[in-house]
Structure 1
Amino acid sequence: MSPELQLDSHGNLRHLLTLEGLSSDLLSRILDTAEDLEKALRGPEKNIPLLRGRTIVNLFFEPSTRTRTTFELAAKRLSADVLNLQIAASSTSKGETLFDTLKTLEAMQADMFVVRHDASGAAHFFAEHAAPGVAILNAGDGRHAHPTQGLLDLFTIRRYKQEFTNLRVAIVGDVLHSRVARSDIHGLRTLGAREIRVVAPPTLVPAGIEQMGVRVCHRIEEGLEGADVVILLRLQKERMLGAFLPSMGEFHRDFGLTRKRLETLRKDAIIMHPGPINRGVEIEGDVAYGPQSLILQQVSHGIAVRMAVMAMILGHNASPTAPTRTRRRLGVLR
């Protein structure tokens, strides 16, 4: 995908479709803006008037709880008007095309569409055909990308590890079907992670993934040894169209994160998971909520990160009452 589609002539975000091709400086600016916004939310006022008068449409063609809810909260915290489109009850179920859906909603003067779709490239399609001034934010498209999940994972890692350059990161589980894994890998590589390991049975590793600069491990003990960060992936049962695994029980036996396997990690290692968790499959229940787990923190960080992306794309006319540091990062103040 051409990076120019995501950026305007000044190198600022126009759409967010993937982390691939974005610079380390831009990724850092997004994370810094999220830090500013999270600090602002700790004050007495829960809403920041950065996007007052803007309209954001959550256009979800796939079911979602965490992602849709955090996008809705993020937009409302920025004082935007929010429309959640119920796709099952919409005209698409009657045969309307994606293009027609986009143009119909544009006529309602929406400023941004947050799009989640089961087809890889759907968000790219919307961005190519969107009217000038209408932004597209990818909330997950097929197996391709989930850029805001990747960003909130990076935000969480940076919050607890500060620097990326010395980190060994293990991504464990269903990499083949995971758009989260791809976004995490692109982001981690751009920010200079020392080593990225992909840990999965051969049937759940995409062919040629080594070309993304990762080390493939088919034994979990090898993949976890000395790791600083472990990102577990949910088994994508809804995307599996063949016999990728003998059984869930065997996956847990061979690749599940158990209390005993924690011993192979560095003592200060952190554990992450995009959710929802399959208990007793990717991870033992008490490990999921143990002292090294940041799974709940990830959910909370998702609000600030999604606010940051929305603000950086749409916030060029930010309210003068918005936080000064945030407006400076958005280019409103010099």
Structure 2
Amino acid sequence: MSHFHFSLHKECRHTNARVGVFHTPHGIVETPRFMPVGTLANVKGITPDHLVQAQAQMVLSNTYHLHLQPGEGIVQKAGGLHRFMAWEGPILTDSGGFQVFSLSEMRKIREEGVVFRSPKDGRLIDMTPERSIQIQNALGADVIMAFDECPPGDAGREAVAAATARTYRWLERCIEAHERDDQALFGIVQGGIFLDLRSQAVTDLTKLDLPGYAIGGVSVGESPENIRKVVQHTAPLLPKNKIRYLMGVGTYREMAQAIAAGIDVFDCVIPTRLGRHGAALVKGDRWNLKNAQFKEDFRPLDESCPCYTCQNFTRAYLHHLIKAKEMLAYMLLSLHNVTELIQFTVRIRESILSDRFVEEFGEWLEPEPTHARIDCKP
């Protein structure tokens, strides 16, 4: 794994927040950083050039979805995921564990793996830890994730304990199956809302000395308070010299609180999902651009935002496009929303470097007000 290295540059004096750089064969990731989700080898509605302009450094794709279509063999023949999707920067592929386990009516869990029916054509698929790694080896991402069992947020302690133990056994099999030294295999800490199970999972996984570790099994139905407790408990237990990845969260508050706990990178489908529904993220708030109040508002969405959308178009124009159901509206909103979350983490990084994190972002470190949350999982 000489291709991969995480260097820690600065730590916050008042929290566990930190600044680092993760080195990969396709470039660096400056942390903390939000990572856009490109489930099917594309970040919905955004070109690779615009992702670069948005200062995206690493993007995600999904093993489960790419296995179903077009198939890892096609991607491999194309020269790997980087060439296939024309993205030159680092890529991470999720193992597909969450997606497989969300098929509760279509799958059967065994010690060997999970058998499920494809929602596309009904064919029977046997996804084992070995098969997940083989698919990810063929896809060719820089970072690949171990195949894990992701229990639902309301699962009881006995079920969560069994899933956490199985996740460790599957990780050992993933390590054995992994064949490429130009891909970093990350382990995933499970344990639900049970903090002692999280602690034990960290103890077990870190003995394997992997290049990075993820906290999984959050944003799967738990309350915001439970998510916060899990992250604040688990993140500081992970090795300081390894990159820490929190899977499936991407609001201002969730990211700020997780960064304060010591998390380095995040992913979430929120920005493009909101964009596809005519909504914009502006300084952490969600605006519905369909509303009539924007009809004659000739200001940019956010005067301080550097994105292509804000530099060229007005709220009135976006409102018009949405009312006309023009595809460009959803593309422009998605681009802005992705930029918004990336820039939020860039500003946090700068504040940690200047010893002003708590002073500048303290409002986002408080508990979340009661309101509906948006599911971040692809």
Using the size of structure 2 for normalisation, the TM-score is: 0.30
Using the size of structure 1 for normalisation, the TM-score is: 0.32
Q: Which has the higher strand share?
A: 2
